Amino acid sequence: MRTGQINVQTENIFPIIKKFLYSDHEIFLRELVSNAVDASQKLKFFAKNGEFKGELGNLKVEVILNNEEKTLTIRDNGIGMTAEEIDRYINQIAFSGAEEFVQKYKGKEGAENIIGHFGLGFYSAFMVAEKVQIRTKSFKDGSQAVQWESNGSPEFTITDIEKTDRGTDIVLYIAEDSLEFLEKNRINEILTRYCKFLPVPVLFGTKTEYIDSPEGEKDEDGKVKRVAVDVDNQINNTTPAWTKAPIDLKQEDYDSFYRELYPMTFENPLFHIHLNVDYPFNLTGILYFPKIKENVEVQRNKINLYSNQVFITDSVENIVPEFLTLLHGVIDSPDIPLNVSRSYLQSDGNVKKISAHITKKVADKLAEMFKNDRADFESKWDDLQVFVQYGTLSEEKFAEKARNFSLVKSTDGKYYTVEEYKDKIATLQTDKDGKIVVLYTNNPELQYGFVKKANERGYDVLSFESPLTPHWISKMEQTFENLTFARVDADTLDKLIKKDEEIPSKLSKEDEEKLKPVFEGALKEKEKFTVQFESMSASESPVIITQPEFIRRMMEQQRMGGGGFFGAFPERYNIVVNSNHEKISEILATSGEEQTKKVKQLTDLALLSQGMLTGEALNAFVERSMELV
């Protein structure tokens, strides 16, 4: 056996770093600005610690474009570097000065605010630059300013230079294939994306502001003139709401931060949760509950992930459970590993803990709102239900808690928990097998007649509008014993809630055999329908069209994806003829064309009341009806 050490050749590895360090080249700016922020934070830390006794001055990061020289400079007045430090931190790839700093000062307040970790970020400059200079002067007394320069080959030069101010300039000579990074708008866009909430002011150029004339000049009306002045264009808000204590924030502050995050959104969120954990992991953030309407996808993926106020990503699918991606807001955690592949994230221990924590917080918040102010909770329910149902379906832990605050809404506008509702309908809506049957409609307009008939019998009908209803119902049937759901038009009421008493039929078997083909003949797409006779009360409609609950649910689940059967499920309906209705007896007494016409009219009326009569059939119906008049 032989052991050895794999030999890494810098000449070979360097081009790889340059090209593949990050898939997105624009990231270089985030990395360099983060380093500049770190340099400022370290100096602040040293000042507090007594290691730095000079003037901190205005700590800031400037981004400067020079189109003539084709350079982009990132300037800070932070700690700077000595020649030895450049050797240590820059000339050794993957040796992170930031990590070293955090380790060295572990436990001291402020030390954890450092962004860097891996010792690679600086080299991302070579993704867009053909030459990079570091011009730097350390904060340490009597330091000599130095310039490091490299053209992207592993060779570099270090020379002493004249530089009076403390801090570092990183000068990028932008490469021919990356000229977009010399465009003002492009740089502005990148800075706004990644640096919007960094803790040290980031300045890029100037902008025009209008102020009262400093000389007090007046206009014709005698009012103080407004004059244009050029001011520094500061990209960031250094103290975003999530970094503050909840006690220091009012509702308006949360609302205005929401608008800062989503300038194009005009609706205020329903409510928010302020996250603030420091053990066993670090997590801060604010999650907002938007009003979730039918169109779920539009709302999705608006949570921004930050690490120490540096924007990382707005796709958090692998970090939080799927249903939480419907929420909006910010999560900031330095404990989420950022340089690992996204698919690996899910199995990361910290990510799992963070994810479980957020799920619990969200469920607790909803439970608390339900308990403290039920009326208010009910007023928000219509906008919340998709979210709660989604959570119930996808996260067992959430489902357990949500059971106590998941509401159902009756067609008369009242809200109940499932448990409460079960008790309410138990007396009248228990069938002969002891099952409590929940009747519901997903379209009170269209199923108006069915709802009315059910109400006349003393039955209650729920109104479900959420697109997740078919899945959620199945889940409830598994959760609550003896509970079953049926859409109000799934069958006749006698069949939906079967009781012991049977109503005798006015038609004999022979009568039914005689009429059946007449009804079948009245239908255009015969294969979709099954004609059946039922002895219902005489006050029910003569003909009803129903769609078996089972078939409809399968079709709905199939349409939504997931669950249900393989392959396409055929569309099927029942034409239910009420054998006790006087019109049916009348039809039986007639024959020939008159009989056919009457049957046609009745089936068309049934189709019409289900919204199923269209096109040519509808036109024929209208014409036939006119004739009758």
**Binding site listing:** 31, 35, 76, 81, 96-97, 168, 342
Long-range contacts of 412-419 (CB under 8 A, 24+ apart): 412/460, 415/378, 415/381, 418/476, 418/479, 418/480, 418/483, 419/480
Residue type, 623: E
Non-local (6+) Cβ contacts of 73 within 8 A are 62, 63, 64, 66, 169, 170, 171, 172
Smallest separation (angstroms) from ligand ATP to the CB of 277: 23
Q: How far is the CB of 115 from ligand ATP (least distance, A)?
A: 7
CB of 331 to ligand ATP, least distance (A): 19
**Which of the residues 143 through 182 are near ligand ATP (CB under 6 A)?**
168
Decide whether 175 or 338 has the Cβ nearer to ligand ATP: 338
Q: Which of 97, 269, 290, 391 binds ligand ATP (CB under 6 A)?
A: 97
Asked if residues 283 and 273 have their Cβ atoms less than 8 Å apart, the reply is no
Instruction: Tell how strand 202-212 and strand 61-66 pair up.
Output: parallel
Classify strands 529-534 and 573-578 as parallel, antiparallel or unpaired.
Answer: parallel
Residue 124 or 284: the one with the smaller Cβ distance to ligand ATP is 124
Nearer to ligand ATP, 84 or 314 (CB): 84
- Of residues 270 and 338, the one with the C-beta less far from ligand ATP: 338
Residue numbers 17-56 binding ligand ATP by CB under 6 A: 31, 35-36, 39
156-160 and 146-150 beta bridge pairing: antiparallel
Among 27, 64, 120, 554, binds ligand ATP (CB under 6 A): 120
Half-sphere exposure of 36 (CA within 13 A, CB side): 31
| Contact between 132 and ligand ATP per CB under 6 A | no
Rounded to the nearest 10°, the torsion over CA 355, 359, 361, 367 is: 180
Amino acid at site 615: G
DSSP 551: H
Shortest CB 92 distance to ligand ATP, Å: 9
List 90, 203, 326, 354, residue binding ligand ATP (CB under 6 A): 90
Q: Across-strand partners of 303?
A: 329
| Residue located via tokens 């570097």 | 81
- Beta-sheet strand order (sheet of 461-463): 461-463, 436-441, 483-487
Of the candidate residues 33, 119, 402, 421, the single one contacting ligand ATP (CB under 6 A):
119
Q: Which residues are annotated as a binding site for ATP?
A: 31, 35, 76, 81, 96-97, 168, 342
Q: Which stretch binds ligand ATP (CB under 6 A): 97-105, 198-206, 219-227, 292-300?
A: 97-105
> Where would I find the beta strands (DSSP E) of 464-588?
483-487, 529-534, 543-546, 573-578
Of 90 and 425, which has the nearer Cβ to ligand ATP? Answer: 90
- Least distance CB 135 / ligand ATP (angstroms): 10
Residue 570 Cβ, how far from ligand ATP at the closest point, in Å?
58
Stretch that binds ligand ATP, among 118-126, 191-199, 387-395, 485-493 (CB under 6 A): 118-126
Q: Considering the complex, what minimum distance in angstroms separates the CB of residue 168 from ligand ATP? A: 4
Query: Which H/E stretch holds residue 302?
Result: strand 302-307
Among positions 122, 197, 311, 323, the unique one binding ligand ATP when judged by CB under 6 A: 122
Nearest to 421 by CA among 440, 395, 434: 440
**Would you say 409 and 381 are in contact if contact means Cβ atoms under 8 Å apart?**
yes
Q: Which is nearer to ligand ATP, 40 or 411 (CB)?
A: 40
Q: Give the residue, chosen from 52, 121, 172, 257, that forms a contact with ligand ATP under the rule CB under 6 A.
A: 121
Token pair belonging to 435: 């099952």
Which range touches ligand ATP (CB under 6 A), out of 110-118, 125-133, 468-476, 488-496?
110-118
Residue 334 interacting with ligand ATP (CB under 6 A): no
Q: Per DSSP, what are the bridge partners of residue 149?
A: 133, 157
Q: Are 33 and 198 in contact (CB under 8 A)?
A: yes
Applying CB under 6 A, the span of 120-128, 178-186, 266-274, 544-552 interacting with ligand ATP comes to 120-128
Question: Pick from 98, 146, 261, 327: which binds ligand ATP (CB under 6 A)?
Answer: 98
Residue 78 as a binder of ligand ATP (CB under 6 A): the answer is yes
Residue selected from 70, 117, 186, 498 as contacting ligand ATP according to rule CB under 6 A: 117
Nearest residue (CB) to ligand ATP, 58 versus 427: 58
Q: Does 306 bind ligand ATP (CB under 6 A)?
A: no
Q: Which of 29, 62, 65, 76 binds ligand ATP (CB under 6 A)?
A: 76
Closer residue to ligand ATP (CB): 64 or 503:
64
In whole angstroms, what is the distance from residue 136 CA to residue 152 CA?
19
- State which of residues 49, 54, 66, 118 lies at the interface with ligand ATP (CB under 6 A): 118
CA atoms of 617 and 4, how far apart (whole Å): 84
Name beta bridge partners: 313.
305
Q: Looking at 116, 269, 321, 542, which residue binds ligand ATP (CB under 6 A)?
A: 116
Q: Does 125 contact ligand ATP by CB under 6 A?
A: no
What's 402-432 look like in SS3?
HCCCCEEEECCCCEEEHHHHHHHHHHHHECC
Angle at the Cα of 397 from the Cα atoms of 396 and 401, rounded to 5 degrees? 110
Q: Sign of dihedral through CA atoms 307, 311, 317, 318?
A: negative
- Shortest distance in whole angstroms from residue 304 CB to ligand ATP: 19
Distance in angstroms (rounded) separating the CA atoms of residues 32 and 16 = 19
Nearer to ligand ATP, 97 or 285 (CB): 97
The answer to whether the CB of 126 falls within 8 A of the CB of 119 is no
The count of chain residues that interact with ligand ATP, using the rule CB under 6 A, is: 23
Q: Which stretch binds ligand ATP (CB under 6 A): 15-23, 114-122, 199-207, 574-582?
A: 114-122
Residue of 580, 435, 427, 418 whose CA lies nearest to 496 = 435
The residue to which tokens 């006087």 are assigned: 582
Q: Considering only residues 199-228, where is the footprint of ligand ATP by CB under 6 A?
A: none
Looking at 241-292, list the stretches that DSSP marks H as alpha helix, in order from N- to C-terminal side.
Answer: 251-261
CA-only gyration radius of the chain, Å:
36
Q: How far apart are CA 125 and CA 123, in angstroms?
A: 5
The window from 88-96, 157-165, 431-439, 600-608 that contacts ligand ATP (CB under 6 A) reads: 88-96
244-283 positions binding ligand ATP, by CB under 6 A:
none
Q: How far apart are the C-alpha atoms of 11 and 21, rounded to whole Å?
A: 16
Rounded to the nearest whole angstrom, what is the least distance from the CB of residue 38 to ligand ATP in the complex? Answer: 6
Please tell me whether residue 89 binds ligand ATP under the rule CB under 6 A: yes
By the rule CB under 6 A, 195 interacts with ligand ATP: no
If one asks whether residue 407 binds ligand ATP (CB under 6 A), the answer comes out as: no
Binding site for ligand ATP (CB under 6 A): 31, 35-36, 39, 76, 78-81, 89-90, 96-99, 116-122, 168
